[in-house]
Amino acid sequence: MDKEKLNSILDSFGLRARRHHLPNELSGGQQQRTSIARALINSPAILLADEPTGNLDSKSTEDIMSILKMSNKNYNQTIIMITHNLEIAKQADRIITIKDGKIVQEA
């Protein structure tokens, strides 16, 4: 990957200034954004996100959700997100509720 494209991606995730830091030198939100950037960098058609905001504060949660929404809209990527957080789930275009391995509700 060329340096210009990498810098563009790092800028869009707010990580350019932290480019040379080790994982333990990043906050939880920065680590999560890094993980999502790595997952999206090759433009997959589908992204599977298991509790992408599970251990984050409210500001980092908002940042992650904004990134996922941007990726979905700008790059036509399908995002399948698993979450127990109903507030996060309400931001999705489609919600499928599973209980005991069975679909119990679809909205």
- The pLDDT tens digits for 51-68 are 988 888 888 888 889 888
Name the residue among 9, 2, 58, 16 with its Cα closest to residue 36.
9
User: What sign does the dihedral 90-36-8-12 (CA atoms) show?
Assistant: positive
Residue spans of the chain under pLDDT 50: none
pLDDT of residue 1: 63
Please tell me the predicted confidence (pLDDT) of residue 107.
85
Q: What is the pLDDT of residue 16?
A: 87
pLDDT for res 4? 79
Distance CA 62, CA 83 (A): 14
DSSP H or E stretch at residue 82: strand 78-82
pLDDT attached to residue 97: 94
Kindly report whether the global pTM for this prediction surpasses the value 0.85: no
Residue 25 has a pLDDT of 94
Q: What confidence score (pLDDT) does residue 79 get?
A: 94
Compute, in degrees rounded to 10, the torsion defined by CA atoms 2, 26, 70, 99. Answer: 130
